[in-house]
A and B are shown apart, each in its own frame.
Chain A
Amino acid sequence: GAGVSQSPSNKVTEKGKDVELRCDPISGHTALYWYRQSLGQGLEFLIYFQGNSAPDKSGLPSDRFSAERTGGSVSTLTIQRTQQEDSAVYLCASSPGLAGASYEQYFGPGTRLTVT
């Protein structure tokens, strides 16, 4: 079946604008994760969903960042009043069942966000 998809693949926005990034997980996967990958840095955990609820939002860098998931499927990551330091690749991943020790996470191709 189809893998994790993300849109848009690239987004260029002006500083101060809001952006929405979308993730479509693998059908049937109940867990969904958002990560940020900055140049030369390891992936940084942002938030995790189990179904539609987000038990762990600890990785969100500031209150300008928010995310929601509806219908246990599609998720949207919103960044308000974007800053240049928000420029990065935002990756989404999904996994089947409860997030457990050995569940594989399947990654999407990412959205490259550039804030000018």
Chain B
Amino acid sequence: KNQVEQSPQSLIILEGKNCTLQCNYTVSPFSNLRWYKQDTGRGPVSLTIMTFSENTKSNGRYTATLDADTKQSSLHITASQLSDSASYICVVSAYGYKLSFGAGTTVTVRA
């Protein structure tokens, strides 16, 4: 069973609207949580990295939150743009290099 579950599997939003992606994890012990953006045919690119003590971190129009007690994270996209169309992957690190990947949420932004 995957230790990182993401929802929804996919979503479609209109340009300019906001959306929130969810990530629940069971990975233990916990070191850090990362959100990656993966454009079609490209490798994942890091958006944010949060450690246990961080509740929120922003990168431009992307804001990630973390609740280490409930083992939940969210990624909020503000004022979506067509270029935000991609797969967003939640990644949890137990220790060092060992990363557990969610299956991703595919976001489609339509004009």
What residues make up the interface of A, taking CB atoms closer than 8 Å to B? Answer: 4, 31, 33, 35, 40-45, 48, 56, 91, 93, 95, 99-105, 107-110
* Residue total for B at the interface (Cβ-Cβ under 8 A): 24
Residues of A within 8 A of B43 (CB): 4, 91, 93, 107-110
Is there a chain A Cβ closer than 8 Å to B31's Cβ?
A: yes
Does A42 contact B97, Cβ atoms closer than 8 Å? no
Complex Cα gap A31–B100 (Å): 18
Residues of B within 8 A of A45 (CB): 98-99
Residues of A within 8 A of B31 (CB): 101-102
Known: A101-B32, A101-B96, A102-B32. A42 touches B104 (CB 8 A): yes
Residues of A within 8 A of B81 (CB): none
Residues of B within 8 A of A109 (CB): 41-43
Say how far B28's CB is from chain A's closest CB, in angstroms: 14
CB-nearest residue of chain A to B46: A104
Q: List 14 A-B contacts (CB under 8 A).
A: A31-B97, A33-B97, A35-B101, A40-B103, A42-B4, A43-B89, A45-B98, A45-B99, A56-B98, A100-B96, A100-B97, A101-B95, A102-B32, A110-B42
Residues of B within 8 A of A43 (CB): 44, 89, 99, 101
With beta carbons under 8 angstroms apart, the residue of B32, B51, B96, B102 that contacts A42 is B102
Complex Cα gap A73–B42 (Å): 21
What residues make up the interface of B, taking CB atoms closer than 8 Å to A? Answer: 2, 4, 31-32, 41-46, 49, 51, 89, 93, 95-104
Say how far A107's CB is from chain B's closest CB, in angstroms: 3
Say how far B59's CB is from chain A's closest CB, in angstroms: 13
Complex Cα gap A4–B43 (Å): 9
Complex Cα gap A91–B95 (Å): 21
Known: A42-B4, A91-B43. A102 touches B51 (CB 8 A): yes
CB-nearest residue of chain A to B4: A42
Does B49 contact A104, Cβ atoms closer than 8 Å? yes
Does B32 contact A99, Cβ atoms closer than 8 Å? no
Does B93 contact A101, Cβ atoms closer than 8 Å? yes
Residues of A within 8 A of B95 (CB): 101
Say how far B111's CB is from chain A's closest CB, in angstroms: 27
